[in-house]
Structure 1
Amino acid sequence: MTAHPFLDGTVKPLFIDGQWRPARSGDSFESIDPSTGHVLTRVARGDAADIDDAVAAARRAFDSEWQSWKPFDRQALMLDVAAAIDRRFEDLARLESMDMGAPLARTLSFRRWIQQTFRYYAAQALSIRGDVLSNSAPGDYLSYSLKLPLGVVGAIIPWNGPLITQLWSICPVLATGCTLVLKPAEEAPLSTLMMAEILHEAGVPKGVINVVPGPGPTAGAALAAHRDVDKIAFTGSTLTGRKIIEASATNMKRVAVELGGKSPDIVFADADLELAARGAAMACFNNSGQVCYAGTRLFVERSIYADFVEKVAEVGRSLKVGPSLDPQTQLGPLASSMQLEKVTGYFDIARADGARIVSGGERLGGDLADGFFVSPTVLADVDNSMRVAREEIFGPVIAAIPFDSEAEVVAMANDTTYGLGSGIWTQNLGRAHRVARSLRAGMTWTNCYAVTDPGVTMTGARQSGYGVKGGPWHLDEYLLNKTVWMNIAGE
């Protein structure tokens, strides 16, 4: 086992009301290194009783002096937190790689993005404002709006990138004056627990940020249904998202859900094919395919289909798959044995449905046999009706589908229940704009893929969810827009 200062050999406790504490049940679970299959540590297993404690702590903090903090004070706190994270960033990135399997080169690259995110939302803290609203009511009335913190927020984040996804709740909570109960996934809770430690040591008041790892059916369900939670933010599968939405009806809490995807990535014959081949490959293979908006359905114009698919496969073959802490690794393992079983199961499904495996299509053995590794995979001769083209695999598996015309590919791209990401590769400016407008997805990249920035909105459509992350409208989801009427008549 590789040593890490956060892993001291003890069970990692829950973080509630500014204190570390065991689960009420006394139960814990193993955190597994997916590169080796070995146990990293044990983590306290939170359940409904612990969620109750965390929500109560968040409510007390919301009703306390936290509400007296001015926007300048919250901004200053966020900048202090950003500096504290930066001082311990290498350890934080390394812990994320050990816990969920992302290559260290990838997690270390998040340093700038995390600093951007905290600083962007710190600036937003000073920009919250209401409006004076014109009215035509008989008499003499002043009407205006105030934007006030919504209250207690519950956030449930996935295992495929907690170092990043936790910030989509932590930062708007700190910027607006809300409080937070955060439930990380059992598969990768460690970077979120370490983040709680950093936030607390940087001066975030007790109860403002609480972290309760635990199973979705118990801890997650309790958080989603809790009557004293004012908003729930969920990132994960569409099936679980539906359950979250149903549970939110207990008190009509606000809900934002980012769910699954089966995103189309479209390559026209006039594209820069070298750029497109690398871009299309990494649109899926990045993070070993464990990205909700990954470009997993690759549509290629028929005149270039065979050659281009081979180019993409060659990119996959050239990538170094290996342990997450190896500095040369470009693709790490899948995050869990369960995910490994799911992804490799699709190789047999693809063969049975008539798809051809151009590259990959196997679990990796040898020195990697103990970990959860699969090779980057390209499937050809895929029809848009096949299961590998319909279902979210969440692994490094590209389904390549030929097309003949712009109208045909738009129709096929939109023939899905999802609507998260999409990509277009072409040098025809008019076509790029037409297709981008026609794709039923919350995000479209042209001649690039998966470029993100905290100041630019991310959103989904259809069964990929609703609500926004990032950009100028994100804070509105954490604010109550309150209207005030004043009779200002002289008599």
Structure 2
Amino acid sequence: MIAKLEITRNYINGDWQEAKTRETMTSVNPATGEIVGESQKSGLEDIKLAIKLAKAAFHTSDWRSNSSRRSDALMQWAYKLKENREEIARILTTENGKPIKESRIELDACIDTLKYFAGMARSIFGRSINLSTTSYGIIDKEPIGVVGIISPWNWPAMLMIREVAPALAAGNAVVLKPASRTPLISTAIVKLIEENSDFPPGIVNIVSGPGKVIGDEMTTNPDVNAISFTGDTTTGKNLMKKAAEKVKKLALELGGKSPNIIFPDANLNKAIQAVAKSAFITAGQMCFAGSRVIVHESIHEEVVEGLRKQAEKLKVGNGLIETTDMGPVISEEQLNKILEYCEIGRRDAKLITGGNRLTGGDYDKGYYIEPTIFDQVPIESRIAQEEIFGPVLAIQVFRDEKEAISLANGTIFGLAAGVWTKDVNRAVRIAKKVEAGTVWINTYNKNYPQAEFGGYKESGIGRTRGIEGLMEYTETKHINIEIEE
């Protein structure tokens, strides 16, 4: 378990160092309210140095051209993470609050992702074209250069590795800015590479600090060639505006308001359990949380009652307790925001269960809220339209397929969706009409490193994971050869 007041440092050019500001930030355990560690509150001098040395490493090492080295480096990182999985899972739970069983799942996903992109590092491919009788073209894929990666606090390990692994596999150097609420876990994972000689100094750097300083500099600095950001839509839009000044390449995975559409012929027992899990995993603090249920009127009451039972049997508590099903939310600020949405829900809809802060005993030390369900939610209600980022589920009713699709597509978001039916034709028909980057059929929240993920509409641009996720971190070059006969 992480020691209280452990102080992490920035990792720049293969060296652990304190911020030039000599200032630190505190990390708080959301389950207890206790300070569990400190990280560097870096300034402009720190991030500029990291970018400068990352650029030098990219241009002077053989990283960009040695695919075998990149593959070996990523595979060793995966094995090192596997060796330290339990210790790092406890750090993750302590700093983020999620149940320890979720932390293990998250780290397993990190390991799998590193292994996948270790293999893909040797598979960067272009194509050749016979352009004419005397002209031959090579379409080449090259690394971009320095990639700035800004990761969130909700799944801070996986959502960092999900971007770092393909960026490195493609041959880039990276500068990481961890979320200010969860820098300890991000730094702990980066620390695993310090004895890995396959990583040239400067290829991987991590600098903690406020987003308005570190993130803004990464976005506007001309020596950062691309930015990857995972987080809320408002911040993503601001990054786009700033990056536009340099016409900088962006990969954005932003907010969601993902629906599960349940038809009368669905396996309701399976659907209800999966839908509840999708809504309340990580206390609902997931970009693709199944935060809306769109259910056919004929099974409405049965589904509502089933979801209520699932929500009320969840054990909410400290994530380090093995039997905990749902931990606290990340902060007092986030808790108050969720409670404000619950008040909106009480006015606009029918409260089925939850809606209150949990108090008494150990609950008073942390930021706990009941799993919450609202029924009869109007499509125009803010709890149906806005990303709450908390354990709040909104239920809506449909009469036919047309209405179901209209409700599913009735927000600015389009990250993910679920369709529940035994009718294969209907399932595919709906999946093709729903405006979302991922549509799960008779399941939810199944993610794989080899399958692309990303959003439609205001849920983001670009794709992560899979071949397209790898190619996001490359430039395309046409090399034309004139052949003399």
TM range (shorter): over 0.9
Instruction: Tell me whether 1:477 sits opposite 2:472 in the alignment.
Output: yes
Equivalence for 1:36: 32
Name the counterpart of 1:156: 150
Retained in 1: the 8 A contact 2:58–2:64? no
Question: Take 2:4 and 2:338, find their aligned partners in 1: how far apart are those partners?
Answer: 33
CA distance in 2, matches of 1:57, 1:28: 23
The code of the aligned residue for 2:58 comes to: F
Measured after TM superposition, the shift of residue 113 of structure 1 is: 2.1
Question: Does the 8 A contact of 2:23 with 2:41 survive in 1?
Answer: yes
Q: State the alpha-carbon separation in 2 of the partners of residues 338 and 46 from structure 1.
A: 23
Matched, 1:310 2:305: yes
1:322 maps to: 317
**What one-letter code is carried by the residue in structure 1 that aligns with 2:364?**
A
2:309 is paired with a residue whose SS is: helix
Contact 1:422 1:444 in 2 (8 A): yes
Aligned to 2:123: 127
TM-score, normalized by length of structure 2? 0.97
Whole-Å separation in 1 of the counterparts to 2:369 and 2:474: 43
- C-alpha contact 1:227 1:250 (8 A) present in aligned 2: no
Deviations 1:103-139 (A, max 9, x none): 1011112343222211110111111122111213xx7
Change (3 A) 1:21 1:376: same
Partner SS state of residue 200, structure 1: coil
d(CA) in 2 for partners of 1:67 and 1:422?
39
One-letter amino acid of the structure 2 residue matched with residue 301 of structure 1: H
Structure 1's 417 and 432: CA in aligned 2 closer, same or farther, altered over 3 A?
Answer: same
Corresponding letter in the other structure for 2:203: V
Q: Aligned pair 1:195/2:189, yes or no?
A: yes
Q: Relative to 1, partners in 2 of residues 1:8 and 1:275: Cα closer, same or farther, differing over 3 Å? A: closer
Q: Does the CA contact (< 8 Å) of 1:459 and 1:468 recur in 2? A: yes
Q: TM-score, normalised by structure 1?
A: 0.96
Deviations 1:199-222 (A, max 9, x none): 222232211111111122221111
Asked if 2 retains the 8 angstrom alpha-carbon contact of 1:333 and 1:372, the reply is yes
Using a 3 Å threshold, how does the CA distance of structure 1 residues 411 and 142 change in structure 2: closer, same or farther?
A: same
| 1:223 corresponds to | 218
Does the aligned pair in 2 maintain the 1:16–1:54 contact within 8 Å? Answer: yes
Match of 1:142 in 2: 136
What's the counterpart of residue 255 of structure 2?
Answer: 260
| Local SS of the residue matching 2:191 | helix
Return the match for 1:403 from 398, 413, 435: 398
Superposed CA offset, 1:422-448 (max 9, x none): 111111111101110110111111111
Q: Distance in 2 between matches of 1:38 and 1:108?
A: 22
1:80 is aligned to 2:76: yes
Picking from 264, 274, 279, the partner of 1:279 is 274
Identify the residue that residue 452 of structure 2 maps to in structure 1: 457
Spell out the pairing of 1:354-433 with structure 2 (5 A cutoff).
355-366=349-360, 367-433=362-428
SS at structure 2 position matched to 1:444: strand
Deviation track 1:394-415 (CA, whole Å, cap 9, x = no partner) reads: 0010001111111111011111
Counterpart amino acid of residue 328 in structure 1? T
Aligned residues of 2:37 and 2:184 also touching (Cα < 8 A): no
- Alignment partners' CA distance in 2, 1:268 and 1:483: 49
- Amino acid of the residue matched to residue 110 of structure 2? I
**Aligned 8 A contact 2:170 2:471 in 1:** no
Q: Which amino acid aligns with 2:165?
A: C
* Counterpart Cα distance in 1 of 2:467 and 2:110: 17
Mapped pair 1:341 → 2:327: no
Task: Specify the code of the residue in structure 2 equivalent to 1:29.
Answer: M
- Alpha-carbon offset, residue 461 of structure 1: 0.4
**Offset, 1:69:** 5.2
Query: CA–CA distance in 2 between the matches of 1:112 and 1:216?
Result: 28
1:64 equivalent in alignment to 2:60: yes
The 1-side partners of 2:436 and 2:296 are apart by 21
CA distance in 2, matches of 1:344, 1:93: 29
Matched residues in 2 for 1:155 and 1:92: separation? Answer: 21
Contact 2:24 2:39 in 1 (8 A): yes
AA paired with 1:269? P
From the superposition, tell whether residues 26 and 434 of structure 1 become closer, same or farther in structure 2 (CA, over 3 Å).
Answer: same
- Kindly indicate whether residue 169 of structure 2 is the aligned counterpart of residue 175 of structure 1: yes
- CA shift, 1:303, in A, is 1.3
Amino acid at match of 2:193: L
Structure 2 residues not aligned, in runs of 5+: none
Over the aligned positions, Cα root-mean-square deviation in angstroms equals 1.4
What is the CA deviation profile of residues 180-208 of structure 1, one whole-angstrom value per residue up to 9, with x for unaligned ones? 01111111111110111102222322111
TM-aligned CA deviation for residue 10 of structure 1? 4.6
Q: Within 2, Cα distance between the matches of 1:416 and 1:78?
A: 39
Q: How many residues align?
A: 483
CA contact under 8 A between 1:23 and 1:50: conserved in structure 2? Answer: yes
**Letter of the structure 2 residue corresponding to residue 153 of structure 1:** V
The worse-fitting range, judged by mean Cα deviation, of 477-486 and 288-297 is 477-486
Q: Are 1:109 and 2:105 counterparts?
A: yes
4+ runs deviating over 3 angstroms: 7-10, 66-69
Give the drift of 1:286: 0.9
Q: What is the letter of the counterpart of residue 408 of structure 1?
A: E
1:49 and 1:349 mapped to 2: Cα distance?
A: 44
Mapped pair 1:166 → 2:169? no
Task: Letter of the 1:256 partner, please give it.
Answer: A
More displaced 10-residue stretch of structure 1: 32-41 or 340-349: 340-349
8 A Cα contact 2:64 2:170, kept in partner: no
Report the 3-state secondary structure (helix = DSSP H, G, I; strand = E; otherwise coil) of the residue aligned with 1:364: coil
Q: Which runs of 5+ in 1 are unaligned?
A: none
The 3-state SS of whatever aligns with 2:38 is strand
Q: Secondary structure at the match of 1:66?
A: coil
State how far apart, in whole Å, the 1-side matches of 2:229 and 2:203 are: 19
CA distance in 2, matches of 1:197, 1:294: 30
